[in-house]
Amino acid sequence: MNSKTQRMPVVILALLLIFWIQGAIAALPLMVDENGRPTLAPMLKKVTPAVVNISTKSHVRIQQNPLFNDPFFRRFFDAPKNMPQQKERQALGSGVILDAKNGFILTNNHVIANADEIMVTLKDHRQFEATLVGADPAADLAVIHINAKNLSQLSVADSETLEVGDFVVAIGNPFGLEQTVTSGIVSALGRSGLGIEGYENFVQTDASINPGNSGGALVDLDGKLIGINTAIVGPSGGNVGIGFAIPSNMAQNIMSQLIEFGEVRRGQLGLMIQDVTPNLAEALNIKQATGAIVSQILKDSAADEAGLKVGDVVVAINGKDVRSAYQLRNSFGLLRVGEKVALDVLRDGKQGTIHAKIAAPEHSVEKSDGRSRNVTGAVLGPIDKNHPLAGKVDGVNVVRVDRGSAAAKAGLRKNDIIVSVNRQPVSNMADVRRAAKDSKRGILLAIRRGEGGLLLVIR
């Protein structure tokens, strides 16, 4: 055998290796550059224009010592006559454009809460004043709107397909810095019970999430949104490798309701649930210590009508396993009024399926007087004790303003306080109905919004 023949297998192996490397590089276009070096730059160039910076301004009432109201004290200590009553507060956060055509941006509720002015800055440095479309404090999500052209939007991935160990990238505006990118992995899924929000089903990641990242994007290696960055756990308020994001499926569901209704219309079944503990599992003679046990059923509720009983253990909802009461509560919180739900239930050691229909919760608010079409679209109610103006003004709270309604077009907003209607002071719904009756030239509303006041005419 000559040397040429001996070299043939080596040459063939080298050629195969070259073809394999080229194939591997071609299969990962977002992971390597033209020289074969790992990089996320091509993916980020497509993604980052859809992540925006959000800055807000709000006015906060200054709490003053009661002694400043005493004329003797003011004269004795030479206190100024006109003490400032409020101060301006600024905040920074991030947002994600998910509907470029209509200018809708998803962010965290705590980024824009109580804001008098919302400014959005794009990556190309264009700035726009935004308006609030709707907010859901329970899930800490909000949708804002800008009138802008040539916007980019993110594609949304199915967060149910995430697995621990998947690589992710966080994009936002930490500490007021311009757009910043960090990377990491999915550390855990389905985190709940943290006491951060009312509805929790967080994706945990070690990708750095710092103050200002709130509302920004958590994306996979394909550049698709898999979460909205929301919170961190750290002793000093900075990143220590424990960050949380609202999964994209939950965020997209809530966003669609906020755009459609201006709020999330959560239904209810009318039951109380708790976790299945090992002791309860033993007492109920069931093998698994997971699921949610029904501890109470409200009379004549949807759960009562469906046939659920105290002691039933819900192990799945619409085909998805239920591991805890918190998870089941989150699932209920994403269902709309009127939706049908299939619950897999363990009862007396046997498993069956119960079908129920999500019912509307009982509200303590009233719709505006149907005799006056000019105010149709506003839902009014008493001033909630948690409202910033509770105890400070007398009036009626705007609980909801339907998008596209006469009230919305006039500029009425959720959480406005109506203090007078047609120059008549109002403190309850009866006052509103009486003052708005037979208004033919439109309704004049005196509004308190934050620490300021304004007049609106609804025609």
Active-site amino acid positions: 110, 140, 214
- 3-state class percentages of the chain: helix first, strand second, coil last, to nearest 5: 25, 35, 40
Q: 33 and 39 in contact (C-beta within 8 Å)? A: yes
CA angle 124, 128, 129 (to 5 degrees): 155
> What is residue 90's three-state secondary structure?
strand
- Tell me the C-alpha distance between 12 and 22, whole Å: 15
> What span, in angstroms and rounded, lies between the C-alpha atoms of 144 and 121?
13
Cβ atoms of 118 and 129 within 8 Å: the answer is yes
Q: Which amino acid is residue 37, in one-letter code?
A: R
Burial level of 16, CB count in 10 A (0-12/13-18/19+)?
exposed
Q: What is the dihedral of CA 437, 443, 449, 452, to 10 degrees?
A: -120
Asked whether 140 and 197 are in contact (CB, 8 A), the reply is yes
Q: Which residues in 325-442 belong to E strands, given as ranges? A: 340-347, 350-357, 366-367, 378-381, 396-401, 417-421, 424-425
Measured distance CA(52)–CA(130) in Å, rounded: 12
CB-neighbour burial class of residue 18 (10 A; exposed 0-12, middle 13-18, buried 19+):
exposed
At 241 the three-state DSSP class reads: coil
DSSP 426-443: -SSHHHHHHHHTT-SS-E
d(CA 296, CA 354): 17
